[in-house]
Structure 1
């Protein structure tokens, strides 16, 4: 089949499927707990096992798409997703429900394969610009999805959310059947090729920029609710607004990146994006270390985190996929799995730290250390790109 270019909305929807599947049903967890008659810990596995399965599936779906093509893998995962959503809808037993949630985790393939499709069709700065556009459009999904899920649960019950998932999966399957041709170049990859990718240090530097950048965000989301209550006395609604500050920054950064990358280049945006959070978090740490008690320095720091991620992550993703263009699916899957695994570790660490000391300085210190690691990864990208160009 010809390398046909899908509409941008197709790639946005495929990427959105991952986010929607993770957080649109969160407001319904108490109702689901009551329906199944289980504890909070058991119903919480609907989140944890989804993330664990998603981490593993990324390692499978990416390489599989490099071997047999993007189109059959995307169509297959959408079919599985639609069936799994119906299973969740009809489940009367928590075990069957959790098994279906594992199957629903194939949704993660939508995001990693959408990135691979972009790399199939575009090179360098053009790929980074398209990924920035997708990211900026996607920034609203984490804000809207829980709200939609809450409205559905209130109006029709929690099972209506899984009706929506099934309709979305089936609708995307039909849409992609018509809109998404095969974009991968002819020729199958080999495991030897993946081994070669894993030995390229530049690839891991790009992955480090992404994983550590997202890690700062995960740490903030985990620790901030406790700090907001203990240190600032905020309520639930006010805390929600604070948590949205990083998303607002990301929206601005990704939108600016889409416009600037063609002019200034990916490398400069990566460096800028990793420097901005270090500066913002560092300034806030100094403020709180000297006894400051206002909320606004923390808000500025978190806005810098979102802004920096919006600047750097799309360009870093495009760079990682460009190291071995013929293995774009594998590169996307591996980097996504690393981000999830590191995110799980960092959220656990954040929980331990804020449990021991629930202060803005403790939270920001951890965020600053991770942000500094992301900046070091960005400097490694610059050094190794320079060495490759000189060679």
Structure 2
């Protein structure tokens, strides 16, 4: 399939969007869908829920390291082969988890699954390959919106799968989805190398893109927008189930409502994308995140901790995330179009590591999570606005110089 929206027909474009959205789903599905099965997994492997939580951390580390290799390799040998190989490995890992009878074997196959799932970083590279201009930007908005919805729905889906098939249910569902994506990629993607293969090696490619302040700056803005959402997801069980005493089912429904906020944010982002400049979109998005921090602090002081005082500011924050993150990602990916795989891997690793570190710091404030979350929104959005201003000033200086 040739690059450029002018070469993508309606049928092919629809097929590409379905493939990319399913890859987005598979990129988040193995993490959150397993949460309701922690007690069952701990009982099956005769261990503790804390040990099962280790498998989530191990999965995240394995996936992050895997994508650092897959992205640059795809710039040299093409996307299709690596995507298909990654899905085969992830399916083998999921099958191994289902068949495991010992905790150590479960951890090992969980790591195998994570290594295979590193291939889903290629979704961003494929967007860069297959689409141009506003169509590309609109698709990235759709992918961010879908990612938030999938994350919000995953715990409820995990609850349903746990009741229907016990803990193996989430792995069986993953295998079915991955097999469907494998077949879709086999028939849809062409087996071709990038039009301009990079002449530099992997380390040289990473060194080249990481020296560009615009590239790092825009990915940092994307990471900040993602972190505000991710931090809430990470600490949401502590707020809703431990502090507010919601049942797992009530907690799942609460996150489902939160997913509606992503739909709202996606609609707003699509409207703004056609009316205001990209840098203005970033400022608007980060401004909404800042506003959500103020709103959360005010509601906390006036009404205390409740489902409403958390969800109302998060709707505003989510709108900001879906406005700022896609355009920042597009601006970063456009800097090195011939190194799309390397760019996607470096950027997504920065996003994930930044989100993980900040959410871990917020998690340390167990008794003041609402206030800490609000303050983090204020601090992160301020840094993001500052970074965006510095990038704009640098570009203006280069254009006038």
Going from structure 1 to structure 2, the CA distance change for 1:88 and 1:224 (only over 3 Å counts) comes to closer
The corresponding residue for 1:16 is 25
Residues in 2 aligned to 1:368 and 1:285: alpha-carbon distance in whole angstroms: 10
Q: 2:394 aligns with which of 358, 381, 384?
A: 384
Q: 2:196 aligns with which of 161, 166, 186?
A: 186
The corresponding residue for 2:47 is 38
Secondary structure, counterpart of 1:140 in structure 2: helix
Secondary structure, counterpart of 1:8 in structure 2: helix
The corresponding residue for 2:215 is 203
Going from structure 1 to structure 2, the CA distance change for 1:155 and 1:262 (only over 3 Å counts) comes to same
The corresponding residue for 2:140 is 131
TM-score by length of 2: 0.87
| CA shift digits 1:157-184 (9 cap, x unpaired) | 2223222222222221111000112473
Q: 1:119 aligns with which of 105, 128, 133?
A: 128
Matched, 1:364 2:352: no
Going from structure 1 to structure 2, the CA distance change for 1:230 and 1:371 (only over 3 Å counts) comes to farther
The corresponding residue for 1:212 is 224
Residues in 2 aligned to 1:273 and 1:169: alpha-carbon distance in whole angstroms: 33
The corresponding residue for 1:148 is 157
Q: 2:68 aligns with which of 59, 62, 66?
A: 59
Aligned residues: 387
The corresponding residue for 1:98 is 107
How far apart are residue 57 of structure 1 and its match? 1.4
Q: 2:304 aligns with which of 287, 293, 297?
A: 293
CA contact (8 A) 2:206 2:346 kept: no
The corresponding residue for 1:346 is 358
Going from structure 1 to structure 2, the CA distance change for 1:194 and 1:226 (only over 3 Å counts) comes to closer
Going from structure 1 to structure 2, the CA distance change for 1:378 and 1:44 (only over 3 Å counts) comes to same
How far apart are residue 26 of structure 1 and its match? 2.0
How far apart are residue 30 of structure 1 and its match? 1.2
CA contact (8 A) 1:26 1:149 kept: yes
How far apart are residue 226 of structure 1 and its match? 4.1
Residues in 2 aligned to 1:255 and 1:123: alpha-carbon distance in whole angstroms: 20
Going from structure 1 to structure 2, the CA distance change for 1:299 and 1:44 (only over 3 Å counts) comes to closer
CA contact (8 A) 2:34 2:170 kept: yes
**Which of 309-318 and 291-300 deviates more?**
291-300
CA contact (8 A) 1:245 1:303 kept: no
Matched, 1:269 2:281: yes
Residues in 1 aligned to 2:355 and 2:330: alpha-carbon distance in whole angstroms: 21
TM-score by length of 1: 0.89
Secondary structure, counterpart of 1:16 in structure 2: helix
Going from structure 1 to structure 2, the CA distance change for 1:118 and 1:229 (only over 3 Å counts) comes to closer
1:300-339 mapped onto 2 (5 Å cutoff): 300-339=312-351
The corresponding residue for 2:98 is 89
CA contact (8 A) 1:254 1:314 kept: no
How far apart are residue 339 of structure 1 and its match? 1.6
Residues in 2 aligned to 1:174 and 1:287: alpha-carbon distance in whole angstroms: 49
**Which of 149-158 and 27-36 deviates more?**
149-158
Residues in 2 aligned to 1:227 and 1:171: alpha-carbon distance in whole angstroms: 36
CA RMSD of the aligned region, Å? 2.6
Residues in 2 aligned to 1:244 and 1:382: alpha-carbon distance in whole angstroms: 37
The corresponding residue for 2:79 is 70
> 5+ residue gaps in structure 2?
9-14
> 5+ residue gaps in structure 1?
none
How far apart are residue 321 of structure 1 and its match? 0.7
CA contact (8 A) 2:89 2:113 kept: yes
Residues in 2 aligned to 1:124 and 1:388: alpha-carbon distance in whole angstroms: 23
The corresponding residue for 1:49 is 58
The corresponding residue for 2:246 is 235
